Amino acid sequence: MRCVAWIVAVALYGLVAEADGLPAKPNEIKTLTVEQAKALARQNGQVFLLSLTAVSDEAAEALARHDGPLFSQASMSAEAAASSR
């Protein structure tokens, strides 16, 4: 029974993510729009963006509103880094 609940939860997460303009696997995002960054900032828990290589100042500012751990290897400007502190 627990396995069925886990499958349903994963499926619902995919539907919610796509409804927010995010792909089912946000970790595979290579380029991030400001709208996607805002949607990710509303997510609870950890956010992994390991495929993202660079982020615009506007998207970084939106991501800075995320209340939780955010993992990325993306490069950003000094201004964007300052806004995320």
pLDDT tens track for 16-51: 444 567 888 888 888 889 999 999 999 889 999 999
Which pTM was predicted?
A: 0.67
pLDDT at 40: 92
pLDDT for 54-83, tens place per residue?
Answer: 889 999 999 889 999 988 888 877 777 666
Q: Any idea where the domains of the chain sit in the sequence?
A: 2-83
In the predicted model, is pLDDT for residue 12 greater than 60?
A: no
pLDDT at 8: 37
Cβ density class 2-27: b for 16+ within 10 Å, e for less: eeeeeeeeeeeeeeebeeeebeeebe
